[in-house]
A = this chain, B = another copy of it.
């Protein structure tokens, strides 16, 4: 069975489960470090194994442009290419075309866009996007979707959603028409869109649920809308989506957003926040996020988090890490990224344990009370 729902919280909609793929099991709720171009920035696969990462994300848009899916396929798939032998989820490219590519033109047929690297023209169809992900060999694939910005008029959201639903069906047909290239099973998720309009979100979810997707993503959030709207839309979707399939809230977010997502019934998350903020010198602790470059850490010879068991915290002081950032040393990027990913993965493990123990709501309250007591930083943007 692809997804096994192990435990449901009673006070909230939180769930604990297991996803089983050819490359191993994933215990949910789970955070997926983002390996945009086939590498989680500044982090090695050995590092990821050390900190207990169970699944990473790759970006179809980026890998299609560079190094190209044919090369990845000839390498034996993205796992072998990147030497990461645990599960990989790839997105569909829809969000990157929306946010990165130039001159994107969307018709029912697909999306025309210009590469952000060399300006070359490309055309993504729902079928091609499945074919690319077959070549990449990701364990979990995403259908092509049309992501829209915020704010967005109702009729625009409705129209984009219609296309997204058509594309989802076409993607699923292509999925069934084709087979795995690399000799192991792959899975396909649909993506619920609909901006901040509950009715469109519901239509989207209901239409997608008529198809045999292996799971459902909630897309088009964390694009500038108010937090309350993001949470509301997430709840609208998870209320409708089948309990027996995993739910993935795309591109979210800050620690508190993950916990809210979990309480609304989300199982999977990805975000560049821990690695990007790490590279910018913002590090997460149970007492809130710290801007490690601040002068107050100049002579702070304690670790970032004395209870964290990552290599960074076991080995180095805040003063040294601050020095590395001041001196623009590459090691700084790695250490801060490693610590932040460790923090996110532990947060998910702790949340899962709390759900299993029937104590999620209390645990979450205690975590947030301590985490939000510090006002040094809110951890930067969680926009994408």
Contacts and interface: CB of A to CB of B under 8 A. Distances in A.
Interface residues of A, number: 37
A66 B330 contact: no
Contact of A320 (B83, B299, B320, B333): B83
A327 B66 contact: yes
Contact of A39 (B41, B75, B319, B329): B329
Interface stretch (A43-51, A263-271, A282-290): A43-51
A331 B337 CA distance: 12
Interface string A24-49: 00000000000001110111111000
Number of copies: 2
Contact of A331 (B44, B66, B327): B44
Interface of A: 37-39, 41-46, 62, 66-67, 71, 74-75, 81-83, 298-299, 301, 311, 315-317, 319-320, 323-324, 326-327, 329-331, 333-335
Contact of A45 (B44, B315, B317, B333): B315
B46 A311 contact: yes
A289 to B, nearest CB: 21
A299 B74 contact: yes
A71 B319 contact: yes
Given A71-B298, A327-B66, A330-B333, A319 B46 contact: no
Nearest to A275: B330
Contact of A67 (B326, B333, B334): B326
Contacts of A320: 38, 75, 81-83
